[in-house]
Structure 1
Amino acid sequence: MPSALDFGFYFDRVLHFYGGLSYRELLSLPIRTFWRLSNNINRIRAETDIRSFHIALASQSRQAHEFKDSLVIEMGEPTTVDPIASAIPDKDAIAQLKQLMGQG
């Protein structure tokens, strides 16, 4: 015999975790999507907790610098734009783009 399900709890849990969803948006989701979102909350939290745990462990060891370096590599470099080079219009840019897209 199935046990009672506290749907209100699950609804509030999904609404809380996915803060970008409004009450109306959550109500309008297909039920399978709702349950998939609900089921993924623990997985996402576990991933975050594991990462935090690794950070805590690394900070207690001699390997802290190696771990920090691996995170810096994972983060990557932000894209930078040379303001002087980007201020000079390239008259052939559209033609070059069309050629790259096979339309030129």
Structure 2
Amino acid sequence: MLQQNESPYIAHVFVCTNDRGGERKSCADNDSQLVKEQLKKAVDGKGWKGKVRVSTSGCMGVCAQGANVMIYPQKLWFSEVSPDDVEAIASAIERIMEKI
């Protein structure tokens, strides 16, 4: 039976890892899988596990601007993300965590 629940996370980070195999631009072209792995390490390193969740996402519909990362429920969306941007995204998460 359907159950509606409140998210257990303060922030849920979705990293698009969609890969079109070179047929068209996709988030995977900007090493989005590595972005996800590095974000998970940053979350673990800050002690946010259980409060911040990093998940793989499928296509968000803006592949030309990929890689894309969304943070909910804060409605933050980062485009053209590469592994070099992980620290900036982790800083945004830290600002969220400071508000709680």
What range is the shorter-chain TM-score in? under 0.3
Q: Which has the higher helix share?
A: 1
- Normalised by the length of structure 1, the TM-score is 0.25
**Bigger Rg, structure 1 or 2:** 1
- Normalised by the length of structure 2, the TM-score is 0.26
